[in-house]
């Protein structure tokens, strides 16, 4: 009978210890789930902010493209790229010109949509294109021309 009491006491002790261990695991799991939920909420907020910023930038690019100066610069870029392609594929001028112009237009549309890196032909040649009028050069008057410097 003493052996039964000892084994029962050991079994009860083991059960109590396992219950404490189980409650510790439950607390740990609860803490982990809370941390992951907070992290997921932060990611969703960041994603929404980036989505709004992306939409704002898309609208801004679209409004800038509506500017007549920008539209003319864009058309000029399309023609420059098309001409560059024509130098490679000259045999049938009209179909090749239309194909090159359409390919250049689709390239620019890809760049403006953000799916391709910008690669302006004119900015490589002339630097950045100015949209404001250049200052008119000053001419020397007759009295300034007669005086030696």
Look at the chain and report how many structural domains it folds into: 2
35 and 80 belong to one structural domain: no
- pLDDT bucket at 143, cuts 50 / 70 / 90: very low
What is the domain range of residue 18? 1-66
3-state SS string over the chain? CHHHHHHHHHHHHHHHHHHHHHHHHHHHHHHHHHHHHHHHHHHHHHHHHHHHHHHHHHHHHHHHHHCHHHHHHHHHHHHHHHHHHHHHCCCCHHHHHHHHHHHHHHHHHHHHHCCCCCCCHHHHHHCCCCCCCCCCCCCCCHHHHHCCC
Per-residue pLDDT averaged across 94-122, rounded? 76
pLDDT tens readout for residues 11-31: 999 999 999 999 999 999 999
23 and 58 belong to one structural domain: yes
Residue 131 lies in a domain: no
Residue 148 lies in a domain: no
Residue 138 lies in a domain: no
Residue 110 lies in a domain: yes
Whether 144 shows a pLDDT value over 70: the answer reads no
pTM of the complete model beyond 0.85: no
4 and 44 belong to one structural domain: yes
Q: What local confidence, expressed as pLDDT, does residue 71 receive?
A: 75
- pLDDT bucket at 92, cuts 50 / 70 / 90: low
């Amino acid at each position: 009978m003493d052996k039964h009491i000892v084994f029962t006491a050991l079994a009860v002790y083991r059960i109590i210890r396992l219950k404490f261990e189980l409650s510790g695991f439950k607390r740990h799991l609860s803490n982990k789930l809370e941390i992951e939920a907070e992290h997921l909420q932060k990611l969703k907020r960041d994603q929404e902010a980036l989505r709004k910023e992306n939409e704002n930038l898309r609208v801004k690019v679209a409004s800038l493209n509506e500017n007549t100066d920008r539209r003319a610069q864009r058309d000029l870029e399309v023609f420059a790229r098309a001409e560059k392609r024509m130098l490679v594929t000259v045999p049938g001028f009209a179909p090749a010109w239309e194909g090159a112009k359409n390919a250049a237009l689709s390239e620019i549309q890809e760049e403006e949509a953000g799916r391709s890196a910008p690669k302006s032909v004119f900015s490589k040649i002339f630097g950045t294109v100015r949209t404001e009028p250049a200052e008119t050069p000053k001419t020397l008057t007759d009295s300034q021309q007669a005086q030696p410097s």
